Amino acid sequence: MSHDAPGGVVSYLDAGKGAGFWPWLKSWIFTVDHKRIGILYLVTIMSFFAIGVLLGITMRLELIAPGKTIIGPDTYNSLFTVHGVIMIFLFIIPGLPAIFGNFFLPIQIGARDVFFPRINLLSWYCYVVGAILAVVSLFAGGGAPDTGWTFYVPYAVRTTTNVTVAVFAAFVLGFSSILTGLNFVTTVHRMRTKGMTWFRMPLNVWSLYATAWIQLLATPIIAVTLILVMLERMFNLGLFDPARGGDPILYQHLFWIYSHPAVYIMILPAMGVVSEIIPTFSHKTIFGYRAIAMSSLAIAFLGYLVWGHHMFTSGMGDTSRWIFSLLTFLVAIPSAIKVFNWVATLYKGSVQMEPALLFVFGFIFLFSIGGLTGMMQSALAVNIHVHDTYFIVGHFHYVMFGGTGFGLIAAVLYWFPKMFGRMIPRKPLYIGFGFMFVGFNLLYFTMLILGWQGMPRRYYDYVPEFTTGHVIATVGSWILVAGLLIVAHTVLKAVIKGEPAPADPWGGTTLEWKIPSPPPHENFVELPVIEAGPYHRPGGKTP
Amino acid sequence: MTAVAIPHIEEHHDPEGSRFGMWLFLLTEILLFAGIFLLYAVYRYQFPEDFHYGATTLHTLVGAINTIILLTSSLTMVLSIAKLVRGDRKGAVVMLGATIALGLSFLVVKIFEWGDKIGHGLFPGSEELMEHTAGENMFYGLYFGMTGLHALHVIVGLGVLAVMLYRLARKPRMTVRLPAPGNVALSLASGDGRKLWDGTADADVDGVEVSLTYSKNEEMLDKEVTRLENAGLYWHLVDVIWIFLFPFLYLIT
């Protein structure tokens, strides 16, 4: 590892090395260093991403032809449930905030750690316990849960599969999410270094801050909802049981009061990453700093008021539908503000086409398709037509995978030199991106078309007319996974074999590029004093 | 010896920040209960008659006694903090002990109350209750769900208070073990390098253990107060939620 730090400062990776295996292991799993906790999350979250991908392509393979191909219908039901639970609760919700938020939020505001370092470690343990429970629910006696990741009652109460364990897993993971959010909000409020005013914070910090508030304000609702499902299953509480006067629709309301804002927990941090990468590689200050910062808060706020659009077909008054539809259209405004500002930043910049930026372009393209198909569904008439079809599946994969997934890979490529002190070779990444981009669109754009034609989601079988579409989508999934493997292989190899990275390989302007790569344990030998905006370049006009 | 020590980051002390974090946590707790209060609101609107009838079947007196118990426990909690602030550690421990005792008695009363209802066959999913109206089913579902969730918070709160009690009551002490590869000569020096004490140990010891017992200074007391205040905030939250549960379930008839 490179030691270009003055006075031989030990990097966070090397601290505690050289005393044997057990002390080394202990120095990791009992660490309270936000950077190490970020790495712990990186390893665990990416492992579950791999499992989620495996489940996903198994489903796609099953769907290559009508009827049974490789697995039975019950297994298929479990597969899409567990794919959803893992991808949502174990990968995409914690993903960016827990990995890169932990690692870079304190550094970017000039702090030595988060406000509650031990609670930070606790939240990783919650994640691990939740993950173990999720795995247990797969293999324990009753069989893997088969309700879909939404755990809709009454089926979630009636099925004999391991729904209780899976629901408890989601509950524990929610706890992890709350603790991370609590930590980030407190850290941003109390630990900004001297001169780091609110409007000098990097946009990544703004995004994480807005995300942290959603984590705090939305997650408790899913927590109580999941507790109620567990109580229904264990003690027969009856609150959602229509036979005894209960109302299952109330479950859907409570579920989506959390789960819609959760969508913004997933996408906002990726938008933050994009807002960092674009100014760096355009060698320009960001266009519309305040607009981007405020649009993060606007998304967090509006995201709270639109949950009803998941329930347009499940029984709701016309007035409510109309209002939810309108509010849903409104969310497009802050999202579009971001996209336009990013593009305006690139305009007339001296753009340096690094792989991280390429993935950001992928993000903008795919997220725009995801966002626009979302707008189509905000319209009531279209919504009822495409409800519960592949159109929905295609739409949210464009936003979640095309948006957050590509954003997360961009974050890995952008910050890898800082985190590990090594560079990643560019060429295989360009090739990997090519595969991913082509495979992605083959897979999910075909889904949009299939859905428009009427293919329902979550179906094990289909009429022969849909075969061509399903074959294209399955082939697309292979190309996509091939691209993922190329990228993963390149990155993993670079952990050991990459060229040593300088402190600032990209010409970035935020604080993490002003400390050695990898950073020393304390981040800063002396806490910096901030005198200009985060994207200020000497000689540039704007702050 | 070449082991690399992990550099230690000095702990920052920021009582305002800690309290801020605690308030955020309380906010999440309130939202957690908000979910079930929402269900209560909907079902109360749907079955007003049955909810009125349901409330009359609960023992208002027992509920009132429990309310008084919890309110008193909040008082002793505040007194405990006040005493610690003034440096009266013993008084703080006594008051904290009283808080825990009151919390436990709340739970005991609750157990008898639940036991009584269950004894009469009134619990969710019972055959008895299935013959009652839908509204009564919802009322008892909510009664057990809400008081159960609250009781769980009382238990967690008691756990937190017990930890605080242990921390306040124990002697502040720090123990360090040092390995000794050969014969040992012992020497003790103060932080600024002054020699305090010299000695030797038997040749066959393989290590020494150093224990320091010290009295707490101003800053440590400050930290303890912050911790106790935060524990107290949690306890008050448990109390406040009960203040809402009591009228909603027992009093509105």
Compute the nearest-CA separation of A5 from chain B (Å): 15
- B122-160 burial, b if ≥16 CB within 10 A, otherwise e? bbbbbeebeebbbbbbbbbbbbbbbbbbbbebbeebbeb
Q: Quote the pLDDT of residue A142.
A: 84
Q: What is the pLDDT of residues A222-278, one digit of tens each?
A: 999 999 999 999 988 889 988 888 999 999 999 999 999 999 999 999 999 999 999
Decide if B210 touches A, using CB distance below 8 A.
no
Contact B27 A217 (CB under 8 A): yes
Mean pLDDT on A456-467: 94
Q: Quote the pLDDT of residue B163.
A: 96
Angle at B208 between CA B204 and CA B209, to 5 degrees: 150
Task: Name the residue with tokens 């990726």.
Answer: A270
Residues in chain B: 253
The mean pLDDT of chain B is: 88
Residues in chain A: 543
Contact A224 B135 (CB under 8 A): no
Q: Quote the pLDDT of residue B203.
A: 64
Q: What is the pLDDT of residues B157-216, one digit of tens each?
A: 999 999 999 999 887 777 777 777 667 777 788 777 788 888 777 667 777 777 777 777
Tell me which chain A residue has its CA closest to the CA of residue B3.
A19
Residue A342 has pLDDT above 60, yes or no: yes
d(CA B204, CA B206) in angstroms, rounded, equals 6
DSSP A191-244: -PPTT--GGGS-HHHHHHHHHHHHHHHHHHHHHHHHHHHHHHHHH---TT-GGG
pLDDT band at residue A2 under the 50/70/90 scheme: very low
Compute the nearest-CA separation of B2 from chain A (Å): 8
Residue B182 near residue B138, CB atoms below 8 Å:
no
Least confident span in A8-17, A108-117, A152-161, B42-51: A8-17
d(CA A148, CA A113) in angstroms, rounded, equals 38
Mean pLDDT on A378-400: 95
Contact B145 A237 (CB under 8 A): yes
Listed in sequence order, the residues at least 6 apart from A164 whose beta carbon sits closer than 8 Å to its beta carbon are A230, A233, A234
Tell me which chain B residue has its CA closest to the CA of residue A213.
B24
What percent of chain A clears pLDDT 90, i.e. is strictly above it?
88
Q: Quote the pLDDT of residue B122.
A: 87
Residues 200-259 in A contacting B (C-alpha not used; CB under 8 Å)? 216-217, 219-221, 223-225, 227-228, 231, 235-239, 244-247, 250, 254, 257
Residue of A239, A241, A256, A307 to mutate, interface with B, max B Cβ within 10 Å: A239
Write the DSSP symbol of residue B11: P
Helix (H, G, I), strand (E, B) or coil at B154: helix
Residue of B4, B22, B45, B226 to mutate, interface with A, max A Cβ within 10 Å: B4
Residue A61 has pLDDT above 80, yes or no: yes
Residue A463 has pLDDT above 60, yes or no: yes
* Burial environment of residue B72 by CB neighbours within 10 A (0 to 12, 13 to 18, 19 or more): middle
pLDDT band at residue A360 under the 50/70/90 scheme: very high
pTM of the model: 0.91
Contact A246 B32 (CB under 8 A): no
Decide if B233 touches A, using CB distance below 8 A.
no
Q: Which of B17, B35, B125 sits opposite A115 (nearest CB)?
A: B17
Residues 110-169 in A contacting B (C-alpha not used; CB under 8 Å)? 112-113, 115-116
- A285-300 burial, b if ≥16 CB within 10 A, otherwise e? bbbbbeebbebbbbbb
Q: What is the pLDDT of residues B66-110, one digit of tens each?
A: 999 999 999 999 999 999 999 888 999 999 999 999 999 999 999
Q: What is the pLDDT of residues B137-146, one digit of tens each?
A: 999 999 999 9
**Highest averaged pLDDT of the listed ranges A155-164, A298-307, A474-483:** A474-483
- A465-501 burial, b if ≥16 CB within 10 A, otherwise e? ebeebbebbbbbbbbbbbbbebbbebbeebeeebeeb
Write the DSSP symbol of residue A514: G
DSSP run (H or E) holding B208: strand B207-213
d(CA A444, CA A331) in angstroms, rounded, equals 23
Decide if A1 touches B, using CB distance below 8 A.
no
Residue B15 near residue B222, CB atoms below 8 Å:
yes
> Could you give the maximum distance between any two Cα atoms of chain B, in Å?
85
Q: What is the pLDDT of residues A311-329, one digit of tens each?
A: 999 888 899 999 999 999 9
d(CA A22, CA A25) in angstroms, rounded, equals 5
Q: Quote the pLDDT of residue A540.
A: 56
Residue A183 near residue A123, CB atoms below 8 Å:
yes
Residue A354 has pLDDT above 70, yes or no: yes
Q: Quote the pLDDT of residue B3.
A: 38
d(CA A253, CA A73) in angstroms, rounded, equals 29
pLDDT band at residue A1 under the 50/70/90 scheme: very low
Residue of B31, B132, B133, B152 to mutate, interface with A, max A Cβ within 10 Å: B31
* ipTM of this complex prediction, to 2 decimal places: 0.91
d(CA B132, CA B129) in angstroms, rounded, equals 5
Compute the nearest-CA separation of B146 from chain A (Å): 10
Compute the nearest-CA separation of B36 from chain A (Å): 7
Least confident span in A91-95, A170-174, B167-171: B167-171
Q: Which residues pair with A33 in a beta bridge?
A: none
Contact A245 B43 (CB under 8 A): yes
Conformational region of residue A20, where left means phi above 0, alpha means psi within -120 to 50, and beta covers everything else: left
Residue type, A288: G
Compute the nearest-CA separation of A302 from chain B (Å): 18
Q: Quote the pLDDT of residue A233.
A: 92
Decide if A174 touches B, using CB distance below 8 A.
no
Mean pLDDT on A364-381: 95
Q: Which of A116, A245, A250 sits opposite B21 (nearest CB)?
A: A116
Q: Quote the pLDDT of residue B11.
A: 56
Residues 141-160 in B contacting A (C-alpha not used; CB under 8 Å)? 141-142, 144-145, 148-149
Contact A239 B145 (CB under 8 A): yes
Residue A228 near residue A265, CB atoms below 8 Å:
no
Residue A198 near residue A234, CB atoms below 8 Å:
no
Of A111, A42, A117, whose CA–CA distance to A411 is shortest?
Answer: A42
The mean pLDDT of chain A is: 93
CA A120 vs CA A21, A133, A168, B21: distances in Å: 24, 20, 21, 13
pLDDT band at residue B2 under the 50/70/90 scheme: very low
Compute the nearest-CA separation of B21 from chain A (Å): 6
Q: Quote the pLDDT of residue A143.
A: 87
Of B152, B147, B146, B154, whose CA–CA distance to B34 is shortest?
Answer: B146
